[in-house]
C-alpha cells in the first residue's frame, strides 16, 4: 500500500523491507556481502 511505503521511508527501513519482499535471491546477495565483509574484517 502507498501509505505503508511512506511509513517505511520515514522509519528508514524501506531498503530492508524491500530486500525481504524481493525474496530469497536478495537475501542470498546480502548474506554474501556479510560473509565478504566479515572475511575482510578478519584480515
- pLDDT of res. 1: 55
pTM of the model: 0.35
pLDDT digits 0-9 by tens, 1-43: 566 566 555 555 667 667 667 766 667 777 878 888 888 777 6
* pLDDT score at 11: 58
Q: What is the domain range of residue 9?
A: 2-42
So what's the pLDDT on residue 14?
67
Confirm if 15 and 8 have CB atoms less than 8 A apart.
no
Structural domain count, the chain: 1
List b or e across 4-42, with b for residues whose CB sees 16 or more CB atoms inside 10 angstroms: eeeeeeeeeeeeeeeeeeeeeeeeeeeeeeeeeeeeeee
Amino acid at each position: 500500500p502507498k501509505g505503508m511505503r511512506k511509513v517505511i521511508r520515514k522509519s528508514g527501513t524501506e531498503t530492508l523491507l524491500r530486500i525481504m519482499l524481493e525474496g530469497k535471491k536478495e537475501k542470498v546477495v546480502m548474506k554474501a556481502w556479510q560473509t565478504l565483509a566479515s572475511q575482510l574484517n578478519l584480515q
